[in-house]
Amino acid sequence: MCRRLAAEGADVLAIDVKSTAAVVSDIVAAGRRGWRCEIDLTDRAALRRELPGRLADVSGLDILVCCAGVLTRTPLIELGDEEWDSVMAVNLTSALVVTQLVWERLRSSRRASAVYITSKAAVSPTARQSAAYVASKGGLQSLVYLVAMEGAPYGIRANGVAPGPIATPMLGDAAEAAAGSTPLGRVGTPEDIAAAVYYLASPESGFVTGTILNVSGGRQLG
């Protein structure tokens, strides 16, 4: 997502719990400006303390993409408090806190767009997804609608991308089975999601807000 947005002309602040040095290096090599911020998004105090300082290096803010996520598969009856709290903190609460921290900057933009990576699981879960994951993505989808409503008077658009199975480490060894149960006959790629994010972040979707774009190869069809 960072690389695609940079290729389309964006300067990018990349935030992750892991090092984003390689991504930022690619962005700079491509002729754009890039900044890095390694932070645990579940640490709300650290976010509120450090993110404003990092944003001070950025003259404006037009695009917010919230894509941090974790997946667990614990059966409902076995799900414990620690797992529930941890998944919610990453998948849902971090998106809320970051949105709050950048809200005034988005209000100052003439083309503000917030994009959230939700999941098909928000409305069509499977037995291999924990209640914590499903509920967090359902909450995130609802947050999209709320941000779209509250942002509209200021010209802030908010939309979500709901991926199906994507070829990342999160999918693990389930890629072959997932491809077989997907109407298009394959799993998605990170580039598929990045393309959807770019569309929703760009002026090409200027009259689109409060929408969840399903990027699942047809799995939403059942």
**Which residues does the annotation mark as catalytic?**
133
Helices (H) and strands (E) in the chain, counts: 8, 6
The CA-atom distances, in angstroms, between 3 and each of 22, 34, 222 are 11, 10, 32
Q: Helix 94-107 crosses helix 131-151 at what angle (to 10 degrees)? A: 10
The CA distances from residue 145 to 103, 149, 157, 192, 215, in Å, are 15, 6, 10, 23, 18
Residues with Cβ within 8 Å of 215's Cβ and at least 6 positions away in sequence, in order, are 161, 162, 163, 164, 188, 192, 193, 196
Among residues 178, 73, 64, the alpha carbon closest in space to that of 129 is found at 73
Instruction: Report helix, strand or coil for 50.
Output: helix
CA dihedral of 143, 148, 153, 155, whole degrees rounded to 10? 120
- C-alpha 98/C-alpha 61 separation (Å) is 13
| DSSP 8-state class, residue 174 | G
Total residues belonging to the chain: 222
